[in-house]
């Protein structure tokens, strides 16, 4: 798609957002028109005042006073109009940006995990924050100066034509030079500002990753490499920013040079007209003022066009995110999964993250209510992928997954995910108190229920040792807590909400052996009567499972309980024995 066509599409989308503030836009345009027309009336009054001074032997003080009073009144009205116009423009601009950011955040919540997994978080943050701010700056300048400038240019041309057609012709003949210069620079700067926004997104992504994983960075002594990568991106950003700013900064002096030519042309032709007495001194003064007013908007419009190029480039990145396809919507007939029994069937399930690389193929599995299913296998065999499919974080490419006899696509996502309780190796805690983090799955829980759940998860003792106990405030991702303590908090959530089905993916990987034994006893009581899926690399923790699925390359190659699989002396037996050699 050509860049010009792409810009038109982006502008059409922006106009849809502006249309929500159409009455503010109309008021702003009315105030801009009033301000411009009154500003054009001022040179006429100035010319009248000059003629009253230079003509005749006696100065007409009474007439001059009336003209000056009219000038003062016009200036006051112009100031008031411009003030209210700026208020309207600010309200409209930041309202549009707020709506775009709201839609962007709403779209992020609707995007499939496949998109979020393949796009860096820093890139998305850069689009929502930096690009939206750049768009706001360009849009505000456009509203403030573009319409006013165009109206001023048209108004001055008409009035100059009325006063002296020949001088108007001189102005019109020199004007295309200014337009050509502005157009050339605008085309050049759009590409550069687009590249600048893209590079800024790369920098934000890197900074976000480095700060968010500072401990890992230091643990692997990767500081120098990170700085080298940052310096490389920073230098590229410096170069493209300098080029963009350089080309955009040439707009003003270039157009000012053309403005000087216009002013000189008006002064020269006007001087001869005054000598020939076809023009008064006051009218020449008026024409020179109009020449300045006529050329000034070209400077402003040139700057506006440059800013709008930057704004459109940034808006394109934000709107591109908004236009991304959301996750497959729920059907109108989707039902709420209530009181799930835990009967789960997988029939000919096929799935791959990328089409050219197969992962799970023709997977069949039947799980009865209350069954404890352990999933083992080498890294990358599809264990966590199977969990993602059960939770419908990803949809199967082929086949179907049924819960209680109904395809999970016919359930609402919220009710399906609420029916599962998950404890993962990677913990997730939000900024807030320990109590708020535990009660995330059951917000109406009483303090007694929270304490009982913590005791079941063997988290109560370490929570009480904290300075403020359950009211201790933790930061993003647990802050002061150790990895094991964070995992205990996540286990406590499950103990509190008691969902009908469980998914435990390396749920005790960061917990000491003694505490793990106690938690396994609590898990055993919790899993009693609940369908449970357990993913574990430490095979000693899954010997009591009702059935063990041994996965390799997306296929179930062995299935049975611990004793039968050891007796088969196959892949599982070798895997188990390798951990105890």
Which pLDDT tens digit goes with each residue over 87-108? Answer: 888 888 888 888 888 888 888 8
From the CB of residue 510, how many other CB atoms can be counted at a distance below 10 Å?
A: 17
Question: What is the CATH superfamily name and number for domain 344-578?
Answer: P-loop containing nucleotide triphosphate hydrolases (3.40.50.300)
- Work out the pLDDT band at 57, boundaries 50, 70, 90: low
CA distance to 440, 534, 541, 565, per residue, from 579 (Å): 37, 18, 12, 15
In terms of Cβ atoms closer than 10 Å to its own Cβ (0-12, 13-18, 19+), residue 520 is middle
pLDDT of residue 76: 92
Query: Which has the higher per-residue pLDDT, 183 or 359?
Result: 359
45-59, 268-282, 548-562, range with the lowest pLDDT: 45-59
243 phi and psi, to 5 degrees?
-65, -45
436 touches 475 (CB < 8 A) = no
Nearest to 190 by CA among 311, 38, 37: 311
> 362-404: per-residue pLDDT in tens?
888 888 888 888 888 777 777 788 888 888 888 888 888 898 8
Residue 26 CA to residue 88 CA, distance in Å, equals 10
Q: Which of 24-28, 288-292, 306-310 is the most confident on average?
A: 24-28
357 phi and psi, to 5 degrees?
-125, 105
> 337-363: per-residue pLDDT in tens?
888 888 888 888 888 887 777 788 888
pLDDT of residue 4: 63
Nearest to 527 by CA among 563, 498, 506: 498
Q: What is the DSSP string of 472-520?
A: -EE-GGGTTS-HHHHHHHHHHHHHHH--SEEEEESTTTTS-HHHHHHHH
Residue 378's contacts (CB-CB under 8 Å, 6 or more residues apart) are 552
Residue 487 CA to residue 26 CA, distance in Å, equals 57
Q: Measured in Å, how far apart are the chain's first and last C-alpha atoms?
A: 62
Residue 141 CA to residue 149 CA, distance in Å, equals 11
Nearest to 338 by CA among 415, 408, 414, 412: 415
Q: Which CATH number fits domain 7-322: 3.40.50.1110, 3.90.420.10, 1.20.1560.10, 3.40.50.1820?
A: 1.20.1560.10
Helices (H) and strands (E) in the chain, counts: 21, 12
538 touches 365 (CB < 8 A) = no
CA distance to 426, 441, 521, 535, 580, per residue, from 507 (Å): 9, 17, 13, 8, 21
3-state secondary structure of 345: strand
Average pLDDT, stretch 510-536? 77
CA 284 to chain centre: 54
pLDDT of residue 507: 67
Q: Which residues of 50-85 are buried (b: 16+ CB within 10 A; e: fewer)?
A: bbbeeeeeeeeeeeeeebeebbeebeeebeebbebb
506 phi and psi, to 5 degrees?
55, 50
Residue 329 CA to residue 277 CA, distance in Å, equals 78
From the CB of residue 447, how many other CB atoms can be counted at a distance below 10 Å?
A: 10
Average pLDDT, stretch 153-180? 76
Average pLDDT of every residue of the chain: 80
| Radius of gyration of the CA atoms of the chain, in A | 36
| Antiparallel, parallel or unpaired: β 372-376 and 531-535 | parallel
Residue 265 CA to residue 165 CA, distance in Å, equals 13
pLDDT of residue 205: 81
> 306-338: per-residue pLDDT in tens?
677 777 777 888 888 888 887 777 777 888 888
- Percent of the chain residues past pLDDT 70, beyond the cut: 91
- Work out the pLDDT band at 3, boundaries 50, 70, 90: low
Query: Which has the higher per-residue pLDDT, 432 or 511?
Result: 432
pLDDT of residue 10: 78
Average pLDDT, stretch 290-304? 69
Query: Which has the higher per-residue pLDDT, 43 or 408?
Result: 408
pLDDT of residue 327: 76
From the CB of residue 40, how many other CB atoms can be counted at a distance below 10 Å?
A: 20
- Which structure tokens are listed for 547? 């059935």
Average pLDDT, stretch 233-252? 82
Is-above-0.75 flag for pTM?
A: no
Residue 430 CA to residue 496 CA, distance in Å, equals 17
- Domain boundaries, given as residue ranges, for the chain: 7-322, 344-578
- Work out the pLDDT band at 300, boundaries 50, 70, 90: low
Residue 484 CA to residue 490 CA, distance in Å, equals 10
Q: Which of 1-15, 165-179, 343-357 is the most confident on average?
A: 343-357
Average pLDDT, stretch 290-300? 70
Residue 247's contacts (CB-CB under 8 Å, 6 or more residues apart) are 185, 188, 189, 192
Q: CA torsion angle for 117, 119, 122, 128 (degrees, to 10)?
A: -110
Is residue 426 pLDDT above 70, yes or no?
yes
Give, in degrees to the nearest 5, the angle at Cα 505 between 499 and 507: 80
Query: Which has the higher per-residue pLDDT, 123 or 460?
Result: 460
Query: Which has the higher per-residue pLDDT, 197 or 403?
Result: 403
């Amino acid at each position: 798609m050509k860049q010009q066509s792409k810009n038109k599409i982006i502008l059409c989308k922006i106009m849809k957002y502006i249309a929500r503030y159409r009455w503010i836009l109309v008021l702003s345009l009315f105030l801009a028109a009033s301000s411009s027309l009154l500003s054009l009336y001022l040179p006429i009054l100035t010319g009248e005042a000059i003629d009253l001074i230079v003509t005749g032997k006696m100065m007409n003080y009474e007439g001059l006073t009336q003209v000056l009073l009219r000038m003062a009144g016009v200036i006051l009205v112009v100031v008031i109009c411009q003030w209210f116009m700026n208020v309207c423009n600010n309200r409209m601009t930041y309202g549009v940006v707020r709506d775009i950011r709201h839609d962007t955040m709403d779209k992020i919540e609707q995007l499939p995990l496949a998109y979020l997994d393949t796009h860096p978080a820093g890139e998305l943050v850069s689009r929502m924050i930096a690009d939206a701010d750049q768009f706001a700056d360009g849009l505000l300048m456009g509203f403030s100066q573009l319409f006013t400038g165009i109206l001023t240019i048209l108004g001055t041309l008409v009035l100059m034509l009325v006063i002296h057609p020949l001088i108007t012709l001189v102005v019109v003949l020199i004007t295309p030079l200014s337009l050509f210069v502005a157009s050339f620079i605008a085309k050049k700067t759009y590409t550069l500002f687009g590249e600048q926004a893209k590079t800024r997104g790369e920098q934000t992504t890197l900074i976000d990753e480095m700060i968010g994983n500072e401990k890992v960075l230091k643990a692997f002594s990767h500081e120098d490499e990170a700085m080298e990568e940052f310096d490389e991106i920073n230098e590229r950003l410096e170069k493209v920013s300098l080029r963009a700013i350089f080309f955009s900064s040439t707009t003003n002096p270039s157009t000012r040079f053309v403005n000087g030519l216009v002013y000189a042309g008006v002064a020269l032709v006007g001087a001869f007209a005054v000598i020939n007495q076809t023009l008064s001194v006051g009218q020449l003064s008026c024409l020179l003022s109009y020449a300045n007013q006529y050329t000034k908007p070209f400077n402003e419009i040139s700057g506006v066009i440059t800013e709008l190029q930057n704004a459109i480039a940034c808006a394109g990145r934000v709107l591109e995110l908004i236009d991304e396809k959301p996750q497959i919507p729920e059907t109108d007939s989707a039902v709420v999964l209530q009181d799930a029994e835990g009967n789960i069937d997988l029939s000919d399930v096929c799935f791959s993250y990328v089409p050219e690389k197969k992962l799970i193929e023709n997977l069949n599995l039947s799980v009865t209510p209350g069954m404890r299913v352990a999933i083992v296998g080498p890294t990358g065999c599809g264990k966590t992928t199977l969990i993602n499919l059960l939770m419908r974080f990803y949809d199967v490419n082929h086949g179907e997954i049924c819960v209680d006899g109904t395809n999970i696509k016919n359930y609402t996502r919220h009710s399906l995910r609420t029916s599962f309780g998950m404890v993962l190796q990677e913990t997730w805690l939000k900024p807030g108190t320990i109590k708020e983090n535990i009660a995330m799955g059951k917000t109406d829980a009483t303090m007694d229920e929270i304490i009982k759940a913590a005791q079941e998860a063997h988290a109560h003792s370490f929570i009480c040792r904290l300075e403020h106990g359950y009211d201790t405030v933790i930061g993003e991702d647990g802050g002061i807590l150790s990895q094991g303590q964070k995992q205990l908090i996540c286990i406590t959530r499950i103990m509190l909400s008691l969902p009908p089905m469980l998914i435990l993916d390396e749920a005790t990987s960061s917990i000491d052996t003694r505490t793990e034994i106690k938690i396994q006893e609590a898990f055993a009581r919790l899993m009693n009567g609940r369908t449970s899926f357990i993913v574990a690399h430490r095979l000693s923790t899954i010997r009591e499972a009702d059935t063990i699925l041994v996965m390799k390359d997306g296929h179930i190659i062995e299935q049975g309980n611990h004793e039968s699989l050891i007796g088969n002396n196959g892949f599982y037996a070798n895997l188990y024995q390798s951990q105890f050699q």
